[in-house]
Amino acid sequence: MSVMHLFFRMAFLRLWAAAMLCAAFSGGAWAEDVFLEPDAFLAEVFGGAEAVPEPDKLWLTDEVRAGAKAILDREMQGLRLSYWQDGPRTVWILEEIGKTRPITTGIAVKDGAIERVQILIYRESHGWEVRYPFFTDQFKGLRLDDEAELTGRVDGISGATLSVRAIRKLARLALWLDAQVQAEGSGG
């Protein structure tokens, strides 16, 4: 084996080792962490799988799209949105981009206030701390004020700013969507 061949072989092995190390440490960047399946979330909220109502559909009319865009700072896609309702409670499974990937979140609203926020599927490499109750419990009891802002403070998490912002938006959106559904149900 020539010296030049040995040199290129060693260089290749170093590059390969560096690539494997990068792949090992950045594997979470594209990972999908399922903390709770959406069906399991629905079963928990409604008290068992057999108690989960059939999903309803909210048509994304121009008015609904405009309100959602004001909250999300982007257009909502699709023609309709599924939600689950049992009396004064609506449950929403929504997604919002953290930094580059969607965060799937379940939000239960009862009597116009947030009852529960649960991170279901997390796909970002940073900010996963938003899944813990110390963060999600801050939303309990919050409502929307007249400017469609949350009525209480939600503390951020250092290093998770974009994920926190995404969950705040989803909480506001779920409350706003709940108000649309409740108004529609009362003939308003």
CA-closest candidate to residue 92, choices 102, 100, 82, 101: 82
| pTM for the whole structure | 0.82
Does 81 lie in the same domain as 135? Answer: yes
Q: What is the DSSP letter of 166?
A: H
Does 123 lie in the same domain as 70? Answer: yes
Sequence-distant (6+) residues with CB within 8 A of 156 are: 164
Residue pair 83/58 in contact by the 8 Å Cβ criterion? yes
Q: Is the pLDDT of residue 25 over 50?
A: no
pLDDT in tens, 116-163: 999 999 999 889 899 999 999 999 999 999 999 999 999 999 989 999
pLDDT at residue 184, rounded to an integer: 83
Does 136 lie in the same domain as 119? Answer: yes
Q: Average pLDDT of 98-108?
A: 95
Does 14 lie in the same domain as 59? Answer: no
Does 70 lie in the same domain as 8? Answer: no
Structural domain total, the chain: 2
Q: Give the confidence band of 187 by pLDDT, cuts at 50, 70, 90.
A: low
